[in-house]
Amino acid sequence: MSETSSIAAGIQAGEKYYGLKLREFWRLSLENPEAFWSEIADNIVWFEKWDKVLEWNPPFARWFVGGVLNASYNALDANLKKGLKNKVAIFWEGEEGATRSLTYYQLWKEVNKFANVLKKLGVKRGDRVTIYLPMIPELIIAMHACARIGAIHSVVFSGFSAMALADRINDAEAKVLVTADGMYRRGKVISLKSTADEAVNQAKSIEKIIVVKRAGMADVPMTNGRDYWWDELMKEAEPYCEPEPMQSTDPLFILYTSGTTGKPKGVVHSTGGYLVWAWASLKWAFDLQPDDIWWCTADLGWITGHSYIGYGPFLHGLTQIMYDGAPDYPAPDRWWEIIERYGVTAFYTAPTAIRMFMKLGDEWVRKHDLSTLRILGSVGEPINPEAWKWFHGVVGGGRCPVIDTYWQTETGGFVITPAAGIELVPLKPGSATFPLPGIHVEIVNDNGEPAKPFERGYLIILAPWPGMFMTLWRDPERYKEIYWSRFKPNEKLDFKIKPPAIYFTGDYAMKDDEGYIWMLGRVDDVIKVAGHRIGTAELESAFIGHPAVAEAAAVGKPHPIKGEAIVSFIVLKSGYEPSEDLKKDLVAWIRKTIGPVATPDELYFVSTLPKTRSGKIMRRVLKAVVAGGTLGDISTLEDATSVEEAKKAVEMLRKAMEEGGS
Ligand code: WT7
């Protein structure tokens, strides 16, 4: 580590606030990654040490090469050895009022048994298991059981439809599906098994289905020889399963996320690098202590649930809350009541929820004593300063720092966030502040050169980090193309880990005059609905699957609570007439094909869609029209579309919307 390094001087963060300790961490992590990451990686348990910290063949990184470990061992056995056997790992609460708690020992026993169940059903190292469950402990047990035997889990959010589930099973070629009879939402019971059956009819790789009894549903259809009840299998299971020694670079899981094409992307995470990142990022951002009570309100169907419910908290031997239900059911103080009752100290949620509660009124929060809270967090989309201030003032009583964590499914864990566990910088409502150690970001203009302060640019990452995904499942070409080809290295960029390669996040960002980073939304055609990523292409191809639809376009519209809402434009096939019934049918179709998360808020029938000369849908025009605002920078429309042409398209569309109605 040379004293004369230009890194400290060139550090992208503000000279004034990027404190010495944080700066030193950042400098070491990029200047001498071998030494830095060797030390950090020692915080998890390895059966065999790695030979090489990083093997970087852009854009493929292999971390801790030669290292051997097991994720379930790290999450559970390691804690039993540390004396945490009787510590509560999970306080679980169901919407209907049921409660359960599992100590580390109890969780470990369940995971061992279920690992043996999977083995007995023929699941082997490297096989894929799809998990389609609500937020119950069995979801975590199933994930860890897979990890224990070296099977790759693919968790599919329980709000996804049968078709979406079938697509994800087929892509992963999963052998076993774990699901439940049903789930509770807003007091109703929703069947999951029947959806799972519908999916499996179109997903032939599934040999066995394991069904948890969650909702006590009667008459659950069970197919002999294929379907098994979870508790019956568990009764017979052997108590101990030796954890499989896994290579650091063996995949731990696949998680599907939306992109710019109709096909969801299977993001593949490694075992070693991912666990090191889950451990380090949680520690650095939230500074959690042994007696903290952690509550991350995400669903395990998303990456936030994987990293900060499924793995991270267990690696730190923490106690966490797991809640299966709607946030405001039966009353708008459900969450606050839970925080008070368990004495939650660290609370991590999403801007969409914060905005919803803000609207429901302060009195619901003030009814409860939330004085145990000491740190708050936010994730999923940019948090607007009003929501930030409300969260800080009303929920946090003005005492708790708000840790705005910017990251993605692909990054495995936080990348830009205040690092309360290293050194807390002064916060600015709406800014995720600075990158964590190991994260070398830059904001660049169209030519890939650093943008000036306050200039909106593209957020890129210039060096591999342990939590980065390894590839897209069975599609390395798409991995290269989507993430690593937009920007080429140039001499204005200071690469600290060579050979140089540039990861494109797909997000707009800017730095202020003190180097603070402000995230400014997606560059691509991805809509963020309540923090969930919905690809416009996925929506459009779903619409086109309906017999009445000739063409479709979907865009996001600013929404006061959800951040963005979906607005869709439909051109009907000849022989079909616009009608309210057809509109309802199309909305139902989307709920069925993708899931309720993708429900459009508005739907317009139009006779044609505005397109460029080369036939690309002019999304910016559509967006401007639905936002009701001006056309903005329409003159920079790709594809040499003239301003006149765009204006004409807007007029046409406005007229069509008036005629077609919403
Ligand atoms: C996209 C990733 C990361 C877990 C949840 C979402 C947006 C996420 C923030 C934030 C501004 C944010 C970005 C990113 N995003 N967190 N704190 N500030 N934007 O994971 O579904 O993979 O979505 O969410 O646009 O690219 P995801």
Q: How far is the CA of 284 from the centre of ligand 1 (A)?
A: 19
Residues 229 and 301 in one domain: yes
Which has more confidence, 6 or 139?
139
- Measure the CA–CA gap between 560 and 565, rounded to whole angstroms: 9
Q: How far is the CA of 71 from the centre of ligand 1 (A)?
A: 25
Q: How far is the CA of 353 from the centre of ligand 1 (A)?
A: 15
Query: Is residue 385 domain-resident?
Result: no
Query: Is residue 394 domain-resident?
Result: no
Check: CB of residue 110 under 8 Å from CB of residue 188: no
60: confidence class by pLDDT, cuts 50, 70, 90: very high
Check: CB of residue 344 under 8 Å from CB of residue 371: no
Which structural domain range is residue 10 located in? 3-63
640: confidence class by pLDDT, cuts 50, 70, 90: very low
Residues 249 and 194 in one domain: yes
Q: Give the torsion sign (CA, 606, 611, 613, 614).
A: negative
Residues 142 and 239 in one domain: yes
pLDDT of residue 22: 86
Which residue CA neighbors atom 1 of ligand 1 most closely? 408
Q: How far is the CA of 521 from the centre of ligand 1 (A)?
A: 9
Instruction: Work out the average pLDDT over 362-390.
Output: 96
Closest by Cα among 245, 271, 240, 267 to 256? 267
Residues 190 and 282 in one domain: yes
DSSP 650: H
Mean pLDDT (the chain) is: 91
**CATH code assigned at 591:** 3.30.300.30
Closest by Cα among 81, 88, 77, 44 to 291? 88
507: confidence class by pLDDT, cuts 50, 70, 90: very high
Query: Is residue 268 domain-resident?
Result: yes
Tokens describing residue 368: 């409860």
Q: How far is the CA of 262 from the centre of ligand 1 (A)?
A: 20
pLDDT of residue 623: 82
Domain final residue, candidates 63, 85, 102:
63
Q: How far is the CA of 347 from the centre of ligand 1 (A)?
A: 18
Residues 25 and 129 in one domain: no
Residues making up the chain, counted from first to last: 662
Of 265, 296, 378, 379, the one to substitute when testing ligand 1's pocket (max ligand atoms within 8 A of C-beta) is 379
Question: Which DSSP string corresponds to 383-413?
Answer: PPHHHHHHIIIIISTTTS-EEE-B--GGGSS
> Does a cis peptide bond (omega within 30 degrees of 0) precede residue 499?
yes
Q: How many domains does the chain have?
A: 3
Which residue CA neighbors atom 20 of ligand 1 most closely? 408
pLDDT over 60 at 643, yes or no:
no
Closest by Cα among 588, 522, 600, 595 to 559? 600
pLDDT of residue 7: 37
Check: CB of residue 320 under 8 Å from CB of residue 292: no
Closest by Cα among 313, 306, 362, 298 to 333? 362
Query: Is residue 120 domain-resident?
Result: yes
Query: Is residue 387 domain-resident?
Result: no
Span 18-59, pLDDT tens digits: 566 888 889 889 999 999 999 999 999 999 999 999 999 999
Tokens describing residue 474: 């069975």
Domain final residue, candidates 292, 310, 326:
326
> Does a cis peptide bond (omega within 30 degrees of 0) precede residue 464?
no
Residues 322 and 196 in one domain: yes
Domain final residue, candidates 309, 326, 343:
326
Question: Which DSSP string corresponds to 86-132?
Answer: TSEEEEEEETTS-EEEEEHHHHHHHHHHHHHHHHHTT--TT-EEEEE
Q: How far from chain centre, in Å, is Cα 291?
A: 27
Query: From the alpha carbon of 519, which atom of ligand 1 is closest?
Result: 11
pLDDT over 50 at 12, yes or no:
no
110 CB contacts (<8 Å, ≥6 apart)?
102, 137, 141, 234
Of 311, 354, 381, the one to substitute when testing ligand 1's pocket (max ligand atoms within 8 A of C-beta) is 381
Residues 255 and 142 in one domain: yes
482: confidence class by pLDDT, cuts 50, 70, 90: very high
Which has more confidence, 266 or 656?
266
Provide the H-helix boundaries in 325-451.
334-342, 351-360, 363-366, 385-390
Residues 48 and 84 in one domain: no
Query: Is residue 186 domain-resident?
Result: yes
Residues 146 and 32 in one domain: no
Q: Any residues with Cβ below 6 Å from ligand 1, and which?
A: 257, 302-304, 379-382, 404-409, 432, 505-507, 519, 522, 528, 533
Q: Give the torsion sign (CA, 42, 44, 47, 53).
A: negative
Residues 59 and 95 in one domain: no
Q: How far is the CA of 529 from the centre of ligand 1 (A)?
A: 11
Residues 74 and 47 in one domain: no
Query: Is residue 595 domain-resident?
Result: yes
What φ, ψ does residue 479 adopt, rounded to 5°? -60, -50
Residues 12 and 82 in one domain: no
Rounded to 10 deg, the angle between the 20-31 and 33-41 helix axes is 110
- Measure the CA–CA gap between 571 and 275, rounded to whole angstroms: 47
Which residue CA neighbors atom 19 of ligand 1 most closely? 381
- pTM here is 0.91
Which of 98-102, 266-270, 479-483, 558-562 has the lowest average pLDDT? 558-562
Query: Is residue 104 domain-resident?
Result: yes
pLDDT over 80 at 636, yes or no:
no
**CATH code assigned at 149:** 3.40.50.12780
Which residue CA neighbors atom 13 of ligand 1 most closely? 381
